[in-house]
Amino acid sequence: MTDTIQNIRGRAVPMLGLGTYKLTGQACREGVAHALTMGYRHIDTAQMYKNEADVGAGIADAPVAREDVFLTTKVWHTNLSPEDVRRSTEESLQRLDTDYVDLLLIHWPAHLDGDHDALRSTLDAFVALHEAGHVRHIGVSNFSIRLLNQTVDHLPAEAPLFAHQAEYHPFLAQEAVLRHAREHDYLFTAYSPLAQGDALRNDTLQSIGDRHGKTAAQVTLRWLLQQPQVSAIPKAGSASHRIANLGVFDFALSDDEMTAIHNLGRGERRIDPAFAPAWSTT
Ligand SMILES: NC(=O)c1ccc[n+]([C@@H]2O[C@H](COP(=O)([O-])OP(=O)(O)OC[C@H]3O[C@@H](n4cnc5c(N)ncnc54)[C@H](OP(=O)(O)O)[C@@H]3O)[C@@H](O)[C@H]2O)c1
């Protein structure tokens, strides 16, 4: 059995989480309860997913104490003024039926990219939620290196940057942002870790999987979680996929296998909306 946690600033974070985008209603409630029952301890949601109430109900249904679950939600980019951060997060907590989230993320920087004052005001509102006990840790998502540097520089020592969530899978190398996470000791969470299903069809991943008696999906998740500082949040609407994705802690990839998967990187970004930041800014 290999490690199932990443230690970030003294906090143990379960490195495999359940992504919940496009999972709503009863399927979401039952999926979250099932995941926690099977051993997941990390759930990822967002205001934009319109499923926070379902996620909260799933956590309440599961035979797992709230404090044993690492729960992340995200503030949508239309809610980034300080007043909207406070109000919308309070609404998230009500829907999630909890007093706190473990991690609150800026979902997308949008207009904060290029408006340093606005970024500072948004971060100050996050720090106020941390001080009030509503948010254990502060993080960001879809940030460029420039935005990450501005964030690290602005946040106070008592509420430092804890996590950056970004797209990461074998077809999208993320060396620069990963290096930044390691240099500044925060978690790097890989979203769309299975390249939204495309990883399953790759010959290299399949043949490595054959050697270990694992699927291409399990090899992909193992490759991510075997990297320092990295966690992953595959979405799995089906119970069999949720269970399969837990099967990544009983084998390890060799250095050559890790390198072969790194070599698949070809800059394929699947999520790149009009309000995305200038990714390459340093
Ligand atoms: N911060 C952001 O801006 C952002 C953006 C995108 C995503 N995210 C987060 O990241 C999560 C995951 O990303 P994603 O949903 O885009 O894509 P993903 O996790 O890469 O892929 C999900 C797809 O893979 C399938 N799958 C899962 N496990 C499998 C397995 N063991 N074998 C075969 N197929 C499997 C799922 O099928 P079934 O559902 O049918 O089981 C689903 O079709 C999201 O749910 C969300 O929480 C965050």
Q: At residue 1, does pLDDT exceed 80?
A: no
Q: At residue 282, does pLDDT exceed 70?
A: no
Q: In this predicted structure, what is the pLDDT of residue 116? A: 96
Length of the chain measured in residues: 282
Q: At residue 16, does pLDDT exceed 70?
A: yes
Pick from 101, 168, 191, 269 the residue to mutate for probing ligand 1's pocket: most ligand atoms within 8 Å of its CB.
191
Q: Are 167 and 270 in contact (CB under 8 A)?
A: yes
Q: At residue 181, does pLDDT exceed 80?
A: yes
Q: Is the pTM of this model over 0.95?
A: yes
CB distance 231 to ligand 1 below 6 Å: no
Which amino acid is it at 272?
D
Q: How many CA atoms lie within 13 A of 123 on its CB side?
A: 25
CB distance 199 to ligand 1 below 6 Å: no
Write the CA distances from 192 to 78, 90, 147, 170, 270, integer angstroms.
Answer: 23, 27, 21, 10, 8
Q: Which atom of ligand 1 is nearest to the CA of 45?
A: 47
- Residues 264-273 have pLDDT tens digits of 999 999 999 9
Residue 166's H or E segment, with its range, is strand 161-167
Mean pLDDT of 145-153: 98
Distance from the first to the final alpha carbon of the chain: 39
Q: In this predicted structure, what is the pLDDT of residue 3? A: 80
Q: How far is the CA of 24 from the centre of ligand 1 (A)?
A: 14
Catalytic residue numbers read 49
- Residues 194-213 have pLDDT tens digits of 999 999 999 999 999 999 99
Rounded CA gap, 109 and 211, in Å?
42
Q: Token match 């969530």: residue?
A: 165
The percent of residues above 70 in pLDDT, for the chain, comes to 99
Mean pLDDT of 141-153: 98
CB distance 49 to ligand 1 below 6 Å: no
- Residues 35-80 have pLDDT tens digits of 999 999 999 999 999 999 999 999 999 999 999 999 999 999 999 9
Domain-wise residue ranges, the chain: 5-262
Rounded CA gap, 70 and 7, in Å?
13
Rounded CA gap, 79 and 70, in Å?
23
Rounded CA gap, 132 and 158, in Å?
13
Tokens of 56: 């909260």
Rounded CA gap, 249 and 15, in Å?
10
- Residues 154-180 have pLDDT tens digits of 999 999 999 999 999 999 999 999 999
pLDDT band of 233, cuts 50, 70, 90: very high
Question: In terms of CATH architecture, what is 5-262?
Answer: Alpha-Beta Barrel (3.20)
Rounded CA gap, 114 and 265, in Å?
29
CB distance 178 to ligand 1 below 6 Å: no
Average pLDDT, the chain: 97
Mean pLDDT of 177-189: 98
